[in-house]
Homo-oligomer: A and B are copies of this chain.
Amino acid sequence: MASVSDKKMVQEITSMDEDFAKWYTDIVKKADLIDYSSVKGCMIIRPYGYAIWENIQRLLDNRFKETGHENVYMPLFIPESLLNKEKEHVEGFAPEVAWVTHGGSEKLTERLCVRPTSETLFCEHYANIIKSYRDLPKLYNQWCSVVRWEKTTRPFLRSREFLWQEGHTMHANEKDAQEETIRMLNVYADFFENQLSIPVVKGRKSDKEKFAGAVATYTVEALMHDGKALQGGTSHNFGDGFARAFNIQYLDKDNTLKYCHQTSWGVSTRIIGGIIMTHGDNNGLVLPPAVAPIQVVIVPVAQHKPGVLEKANELMARLAPHFRVKLDDSDNTPGWKFAEYEMKGVPLRLEIGPRDIENDQCVLVRRDNREKTFASLENLGKIVEEKLEELRIALFEKALKNRTDRTYTETDLDSFIKTAKEKSGYIRAMWCGSPDCETKLKELADVTSRCIPLDEQKPLSDSCICCSKEAKHLVYWGKAY
């Protein structure tokens, strides 16, 4: 099966083994996901790419609403004085914000930054509307675009403007805030693993890697096909730091004023980059059914022959209420269509020709492994559902195998450095907790701490891989996007 799958039907894209970065850029362009414009560092998300984002939005938004969250919309701009209110936060973001200085022909009395994230705006609002314990928790989310003035940009992975959601919640106490932080981390993890077929390591970030202003940052980390890590989504516990800076207090049942505890959490259009680099192959994109704009493409074979298009339309009508289906009855050859929808990552291809019609069947071809199934038309809906589910699971298994194959465990520094230099993937190793050792490992092995995994507590050894002092945490190290 592997040899068939590796056959390069589409010659236009760079092989991923030759040049992974170029393969990636080829896919985002050739699968019509994005286009460039004269706005440097920003991207145009084209209909096919945006349809993937709409599916991601819908699925996540349902999960947010099921867990009690409400959507709001905050202003695009943050006055400089407001951004400056929380010290660590402004230090983290000020160097990379875009500044509005003029409205029309008038110079503004105070500069406004285009939001890089909206903690400060939410805090100002929460200070206004939270009075009593009865007002808590407040569970808000917003879908919007944010701007960070990046020097080096890549479509979906790092751009000056990107689309995302940012949840911002307020709680009565530390325990509730921590529960929310982990609840949303789990929502992300479940979404990645079960709907995007991307296995993730759930973990906590080191102080060095955490969000500006957070007490603790949690992450879902995914490993791409090339062995580099991608931070898929983050969930932050802010403690009461912002609440103190913005004076967000509530009158508790015991009639005393208390500071709120706060969280925020977000995922962005980066996810689309993650999907490409986890599942894509040398024929193009491979999309998990849950977010594929087209789940089944119907390609008529010998469509000029009597009855073929009629049958194709009939199948389209039968499948359309249950799946996102497209019938391509254009003048292009079946071969061209096969290549086109493989490039676009459509999970399932349905071929129907005169002989199939005679036999009351059609051919289903899975995108991931090109497995062919002759499906009786009678049970078509059920078979399509089964094949999509098989593909969803197979994508996950394949990605998990890649991660397993690329996860190394080291207990001495020399081997750690050797592995980091020779291999690409995660290195599991113990750490003392000092940011100095993180800096040193970055210098020696060009890796950063990805996270302290939540689900693996057993220590590998007693001593830090770097300084040999007492180890505190098992850490996943790696190179990251």
Contacts and interface: CB of A to CB of B under 8 A. Distances in A.
Interface stretch (A142-150, A186-194, A454-462): A142-150
A98 B114 CA distance: 11
B82 A38 contact: yes
A294 B125 CA distance: 24
A140 B32 CA distance: 14
Nearest to A142: B50
A406 to B, nearest CB: 33
Contact of A45 (B42, B53, B73, B76): B73
Contacts of A54: 71
B39 A104 contact: no
**Identical chains in the assembly:** 2
A15 B70 CA distance: 31
A124 B39 CA distance: 10
Contacts of A74: 37, 44
A39 B120 CA distance: 11
A47 B105 contact: no
A100 B114 contact: yes
Given A96-B104, A98-B102, A75 B37 contact: yes
A39 B77 contact: yes
A177 to B, nearest CB: 20
A372 interface: no
Contacts of A145: 73, 76, 144
B105 A102 contact: no
A274 B97 CA distance: 36
Interface of A: 35, 37-39, 42-47, 50-51, 53-54, 70-79, 81-82, 94-105, 112, 114, 121, 124-125, 128-129, 140, 144-145, 147, 149, 160-161, 163
